[in-house]
Structure 1
Amino acid sequence: MTGQLCWIPSFASKGKLTLHLRLDPFQPWKPHTAFPYLCVPDYPIPGGSKGWATSQRLLQTGWAIVPTAQVRVSFRDDFGDDSVAA
């Protein structure tokens, strides 16, 4: 199984970038924790990025990374605002 991953600011993480995934380009982005069967434990680094270990694993298996800026443009086009801008 391959899909797309992106680092997107999330409300739950107080605007910090967290890993989001989607299995198909037409699906909405969801936090990586919504896919427990794809996640691997985060590295025990204080203040480390949530999802970093999972992103490395998925990239090694052929997942595509989508630039955060591209997702921001998509959100603005879809919702007419800058609510996901950092």
Structure 2
Amino acid sequence: MHRQMCWLSKSGDDGEKILHLQTAPGQPWRPYTAFPQFSVADYQIPGGSKGWATYQKLLKAGWSLVPSARANEFSNSLAKSTVPN
């Protein structure tokens, strides 16, 4: 099964990054909170990364970490392919 994760900005800029998941090739990256079957509660640490506890759980379960730049390339190419000429 295709199971990948990456750290992407919430708003698509260079802001705070949160964990995003992709469960099938060609599907968009979505925040970990959109997958209640995989996510776990965040650690209660001020300023802590959103999704860190989920990242640790999924890494142990065999999920792959994809570099943010590669995930952004996929998202950008997907957005361009959906824009009408």
Pair in the same fold by TM > 0.5: yes
Is the CA contact 2:41–2:53 (under 8 Å) kept in the aligned structure 1? Answer: yes
Q: How many residues align?
A: 79
1:37 to partner: Cα distance: 1.5
SS in 1 for 2:24: coil
1: CA distance between counterparts of 2:41 and 2:70?
27
- Runs of at least 4 residues off by over 4 Å: none
Q: Which has the larger radius of gyration?
A: 2
2: CA distance between counterparts of 1:17 and 1:6?
9
Instruction: Call closer, same or farther: CA 1:28–1:7 in 2, change over 3 Å.
Output: same
Gaps of 5+ in 1: 81-86
The code of the aligned residue for 1:38 comes to F
Q: % of aligned pairs identical?
A: 48
SS in 2 for 1:8: strand
Q: For residue 28 of structure 1, what is the aligned residue in structure 2?
A: 28
Q: For residue 52 of structure 1, what is the aligned residue in structure 2?
A: 52
Instruction: Call closer, same or farther: CA 1:42–1:2 in 2, change over 3 Å.
Output: farther
2: CA distance between counterparts of 1:27 and 1:79?
12
Aligned-residue CA RMSD (Å): 2.1
1:73 to partner: Cα distance: 2.3
Q: For residue 37 of structure 1, what is the aligned residue in structure 2?
A: 37
2: CA distance between counterparts of 1:26 and 1:59?
21
1: CA distance between counterparts of 2:3 and 2:70?
16
